[in-house]
Chains A and B, each alone.
Chain A
Amino acid sequence: MTNQKNPKFFTKKVASLGDFLFKNLAAVMAASALALLLIIGYELASGSGSVIRTFGADFFVGTQWVPNEGREIYGALPYLLGTIASSGLALLFGVPLSIGIAVFLVEMSPRALRVPISYLVELLAAVPSVIYGLWGLFVFRFILVDYIEKPLNTYFGWIPIFGGPTPIGLDLFTASVVLAIMIIPTVASVTKEVVAAVPNSIREGAYSIGATKWEVIRHWVLSYGRSGIFGAVILGLGRAVGETMAVAMLIGNAQGAAAIPTSLFAPSQTMASLIANGFLEAAPGSLQISAYIGVGLILLIMSLSINLGARVMVTKVLKVKGGAVE
């Protein structure tokens, strides 16, 4: 090769220097992930210092949010509850659909439809959050109001979760349904891999004792893959918890005690949407900014623990099955 014209290139010293430099450069770049995470953690912890010092534990359990100078008080509890409620509802609506899609793709779909359907479901993940918000605000909201919210509110309004004044669609329910659509690609694609990783011998064994296709799926395939599917659900939860723009545009932007989720058809607020909707109203360096950053800190801790838990679970399951994946 051309290198032979340049025998110096082969001396051991140069060789190890090149390898040494390249390896360490790459290692530094890999370590940047750690640096980024530390910067994020430090910035949120230091930024929320003043609000946590001022209110102590009340910041985490308080329900007031009063930015007026002189009588400022900040409590993050309503938004924590709003986040739990909206992402819980998103899982409730989105997970059964996702499992249905995964089962259809792996076990039922004609071969020719498999790839196009997977593409379409994955394209759902490519649509930017703000466009979900726009669509929810001007299109989907009215469908939900006319066909679901108003009928339920009129006839079942005596049940607290359907109660409240006539719904206009800027509420917990709309935000949760749109969130459900947004987590479908995540949950469905991981579930698909888990279902595909179930060894065929399991299916064959079940068929051989006379089970129908559905019974094989229900009692053998899904139960064999249940911990992996659980991991997929938690991954979806992680996405729902951190999702910002679509929720901020649809959930009704309630503040303080009004944001505590009581009815599906009442405005609420999540931690992420609170920050997106209000951050720019606060003056730099103010206690109010610190309060928003404090909410961000709670959100960071919550989503980090959810995501790490999910990944541990998914990799554990997929590793056990070894070569069976894909």
Chain B
Amino acid sequence: MNLNSYGLRKFKNRFFFVACAVCVVLAVAPLVSILWEVIVRGAPQLSLNFLTATNAKDGIGPAIQGTLILIGLTSLIGVPIGILSGVYLAEYGNNHFGSTMRIINDALTGVPSIVIGITAYGVIVIGLIGSYSAIAGAIALSFMIIPIIARTTEESLKLVPNNIREASLALGAHKWKTTLRIVLPSAKSAVITGVLLGVARVAGETAPLIMTILGNRYFFQGLNEPMAALPLEIWRDSLQAQQSIIAQGWGAALVLILLVLSINIIVRVVSRGRLRK
């Protein structure tokens, strides 16, 4: 048989079209399965008690509170530093220092989260505070969110057309004022999108929390005390033999995935509407 016959080539063409479509299905199937299982196994757990009580009363209140505190503290530390370094890279970074920092920033995003956990353990848990503490976890997560925010801020500022900057400078505004009052506000929604995606990303991180906030069965005790968090709760619950505790883990997973995915979906829908205009 002639291997290059037209019929065979046409068949190959169809075959690989189907193969590529199958690839898409194979990648989307796990997502559907994960969402389905988390909802089916997690939803029966949900109740006011489950969301607000401590572990002793079959609730994950401390974990939810801990994750919210972590998100708040991480944003407090990470957002200003991340946005300002993004501003530097976009507005002043067209030099040797800027390009070096850009590479280092990229390198930081590639550092495994567990390694960042070890670092925060060494610096904060062993060094500065001397115990497993909420603040150590927040600092570890800030290490992760800073390069993400710097990157997205830089990219969004670069999309601001130069003639807006020139117009502002021509009116007599100084560069810092132009940057703060003109450039950043015009890129506002893109910058916020980047921040929210960064938050969604670190909210689900588990590895760096293991050796920093440790986990706790009680509500917030103080910044220099151990604290609970949803991802840790899920992990610990999954290691238990008792079915009721594993079920709690699924409930916690549902809460976490609702938090993370709703941030993602809202951000994407909103930013898409903006791009369409």
The listed residue (B17, B260, B272) touching A214 by CB distance below 8 A is B17
Question: Complex: how many Å from CA A296 to CA B38?
Answer: 32
Binding site for A on B (CB under 8 A): 9-10, 12-13, 15-17, 19-24, 26-28, 30-31, 33-34, 37-38, 41, 80-81, 84-85, 87-89, 91-93, 97-98, 100-101, 103-116, 118-119, 122-123, 126, 143, 146-147, 150, 171-177, 179-180, 200-201, 203-207, 210-211, 214, 231, 234-235, 238, 246, 249-250, 253, 256-257, 260-261, 264-265, 268, 272
For B22, list chain A residues within 8 Å (CB): 100
Which of A63-71, A129-137, A154-162 faces chain B? A129-137
A127 within 8 Å of B by Cβ? yes
Q: Do residues B207 and A26 form an inter-chain contact, with CB atoms below 8 A?
A: no
Q: Do residues B101 and A215 form an inter-chain contact, with CB atoms below 8 A?
A: no
Q: Do residues B147 and A18 form an inter-chain contact, with CB atoms below 8 A?
A: no
For A238, list chain B residues within 8 Å (CB): 110
For A311, list chain B residues within 8 Å (CB): 103, 106
A1 within 8 Å of B by Cβ? yes
Question: Complex: how many Å from CA A242 to CA B107?
Answer: 13
Q: Do residues B84 and A25 form an inter-chain contact, with CB atoms below 8 A?
A: yes
Which of A101-109, A201-209, A224-232, A257-265 faces chain B? A101-109
If A33-B101, A117-B24, A276-B207 touch, whether A304 touches B111 (CB-CB below 8 Å) is: yes
The listed residue (B34, B85, B93, B103) touching A135 by CB distance below 8 A is B34
Least CB distance, A179 to chain B, in whole angstroms:
12
Q: Do residues B176 and A307 form an inter-chain contact, with CB atoms below 8 A?
A: no
If A140-B33, A238-B110 touch, whether A30 touches B85 (CB-CB below 8 Å) is: yes
For A293, list chain B residues within 8 Å (CB): 118, 122
For A132, list chain B residues within 8 Å (CB): 34
Q: Do residues B81 and A32 form an inter-chain contact, with CB atoms below 8 A?
A: yes
Least CB distance, B261 to chain A, in whole angstroms:
6
Q: Which of A212, A293, A303 has the most CB of B within 10 A?
A: A212
Least CB distance, B22 to chain A, in whole angstroms:
7
A119 within 8 Å of B by Cβ? yes
If A1-B171, A22-B176, A34-B101 touch, whether A304 touches B200 (CB-CB below 8 Å) is: no
The listed residue (A22, A119, A307, A308) touching B268 by CB distance below 8 A is A119
A81 within 8 Å of B by Cβ? no
Q: Do residues B261 and A249 form an inter-chain contact, with CB atoms below 8 A?
A: no
Q: Do residues B118 and A44 form an inter-chain contact, with CB atoms below 8 A?
A: yes
A325 within 8 Å of B by Cβ? no
Q: Do residues B200 and A126 form an inter-chain contact, with CB atoms below 8 A?
A: yes
For B210, list chain A residues within 8 Å (CB): 276, 279-280
Q: Do residues A26 and B87 form an inter-chain contact, with CB atoms below 8 A?
A: yes
29 A-B pairs whose Cβ atoms sit less than 8 Å apart in the complex: A3-B173, A22-B179, A22-B180, A23-B88, A29-B88, A43-B118, A44-B118, A101-B20, A105-B24, A108-B20, A121-B28, A123-B261, A126-B264, A127-B34, A127-B260, A129-B204, A129-B205, A129-B206, A130-B206, A134-B250, A135-B38, A138-B37, A138-B41, A212-B13, A242-B112, A242-B114, A245-B207, A300-B111, A311-B106
Q: Do residues B235 and A133 form an inter-chain contact, with CB atoms below 8 A?
A: yes
If A29-B81, A33-B105, A308-B106 touch, whether A135 touches B122 (CB-CB below 8 Å) is: no
A252 within 8 Å of B by Cβ? no
For B180, list chain A residues within 8 Å (CB): 22
Q: Do residues B207 and A135 form an inter-chain contact, with CB atoms below 8 A?
A: no
Q: Do residues A292 and B20 form an inter-chain contact, with CB atoms below 8 A?
A: no
Q: Do residues A304 and B113 form an inter-chain contact, with CB atoms below 8 A?
A: no
The digit string for A136-166, where 1 denotes a CB below 8 A from any CB of B, is 0111100000000000000000000000000
Q: Which of A30, A244, A276, A304 has the most CB of B within 10 A?
A: A30
Question: Complex: how many Å from CA A21 to CA B174?
Answer: 12
A213 within 8 Å of B by Cβ? yes
Question: Complex: how many Å from CA A101 to CA B28?
Answer: 10
Which residue on chain B has the smallest CB distance to residue A137? B238
If A121-B27, A140-B30 touch, whether A40 touches B235 (CB-CB below 8 Å) is: no
A91 within 8 Å of B by Cβ? no
Question: Complex: how many Å from CA A296 to CA B114?
Answer: 8
A317 within 8 Å of B by Cβ? no
If A19-B176, A32-B81, A44-B118 touch, whether A214 touches B16 (CB-CB below 8 Å) is: yes
Apart from A215-B12, A296-B118, what are 19 other A-B pairs with CB-CB below 8 Å? Answer: A18-B177, A22-B175, A33-B101, A39-B119, A101-B23, A104-B23, A119-B268, A121-B24, A127-B204, A127-B261, A130-B231, A134-B250, A138-B41, A139-B37, A212-B9, A214-B16, A244-B207, A276-B210, A279-B211
Question: Complex: how many Å from CA A3 to CA B13?
Answer: 67
If A32-B81, A43-B123, A214-B13 touch, whether A304 touches B150 (CB-CB below 8 Å) is: no
A284 within 8 Å of B by Cβ? yes
The listed residue (A37, A117, A128) touching B260 by CB distance below 8 A is A128
Which residue on chain B has the smallest CB distance to residue A29? B84
Least CB distance, A79 to chain B, in whole angstroms:
12
Question: Complex: how many Å from CA A100 to CA B22?
Answer: 8
For B253, list chain A residues within 8 Å (CB): 130-131, 134
Least CB distance, B255 to chain A, in whole angstroms:
11
